[in-house]
Amino acid sequence: MFPKSIIICRMTKSNEIKGVFAAALTPLNPDYSPSLESIPLYLDFLACRGCHGALILGTTGEGPSFSLKERVSIMQAAIKVREAHPQFQLLAGTGTPSLEETINLTRTAFQFGMDGVVVLPPYYYRSAEDDGLFFWYASLMRRAVPEGAALFGYHIPAVSGVPLSLDLISRLLEGFPKQFAGIKDSSGDPLHAKALGERFGEHLAVFSGNDRLFSLALENAAAGCITALANLISPKLRMLWQAYQQGEELEPIQGILSKGRAIIDNYPPAPSLLKYLVSELFDFDRWPVRPPLLPLPDHATETVMSDAVALDIT
């Protein structure tokens, strides 16, 4: 299942991982198997629309719905985007409830040349204490993350049920300064975004997972964003990123992003909505979602398209 020797490899400094990342969709065939030939084509589309990189196998990419063998094949397919876009940065979601499986996936991700991994906490035991979570992440980094490679914790408590506390983050950063690079913050909580900036500043690479909070996160030392909306309006996310770098006004662009996020939040689950809109607006196949997710219901399509056209997301 896990390749024993892989010649593809690159090491990206964690402080070089920044900017606008798409929480990329995973193209599927009608039988729900990964459409491996479509994956690099879709990542090429994201690169051409202004994304600095993409996270594959995250929540929007339905990562936990795939077997370990499928995840490896998806990573291998994704790397092909570098043939056309050698600087395009790739992060892989490698977290599972099993420490051993997470170790194997993480090793494989770095062997394939991923720039970093984004790792959910072990999400079955929701009462796990910080000491246990620290031991879990510490074991992972000692056994699977080379020095200088980048591991990002994934803070999405509404989905995982296991928050990554500020104290836990501090312990991981102190204990593994050359491996623990940062956090994908998908809490959607503006107070938490501010707290991360106040406590860690630029010592921790924080990626906002909520488009509504992108400008706030940047103003609180965030390194960028990894969002579902980047599948649709990454040019506007890139505009906000550039405006921040140049000290320009952020609110007009942020207003558009907030309206776009509202569309996603109004029609959950996000992969179903996004796969519909990507097919309608950008001429990709209508990729299915994996059960237990269901496709966007027919009765919602007209309203969704009306909202998307009003936002001018193309």
pLDDT tens-digit readout, 103-140: 999 999 999 999 999 999 999 999 999 999 999 999 99
- Residue 6: the pLDDT is 47
Please answer whether residues 152 and 183 qualify as being in contact, where contact means their C-beta atoms are separated by less than 8 angstroms: yes
Question: How high is the mean pLDDT of the chain?
Answer: 94
Catalytic hit among 59, 94, 106, 108? 59
Quick check: 33 pLDDT over 50? Answer: yes
pLDDT band at 7 (very low <50, low <70, confident <90, very high): very low
- What pLDDT does 10 receive? 60
Helix segments in 145-250, DSSP class H: 157-160, 166-175, 190-200, 214-219, 230-245
Based on the residue annotation, tell me whether 59 is a catalytic residue of this protein: yes
Task: Compute the CA torsion angle 229, 25, 305, 209 (nearest 10 deg).
Answer: -20
Active site residue 275: no
Q: Are 153 and 141 in contact (CB under 8 A)?
A: no
pLDDT for 180-205, tens place per residue? Answer: 999 999 999 999 999 999 999 999 99
State yes or no: is 60 an active-site residue.
Answer: no
Domains and CATH numbers, the chain: 14-311 (3.20.20.70)
Q: Which of 42, 137, 154, 267 is catalytic?
A: 154
Helix H or strand E encompassing 72 = helix 68-78
Instruction: Give the Å distances, CA to CA, from 293 to 162, 218, 300.
Output: 22, 32, 16
pLDDT tens sequence across 294-307: 999 999 998 998 88
- 184 in active site: yes
> Which H or E run contains 299?
helix 298-311
Examine the pLDDT at 172 and tell me if it is beyond 80: yes
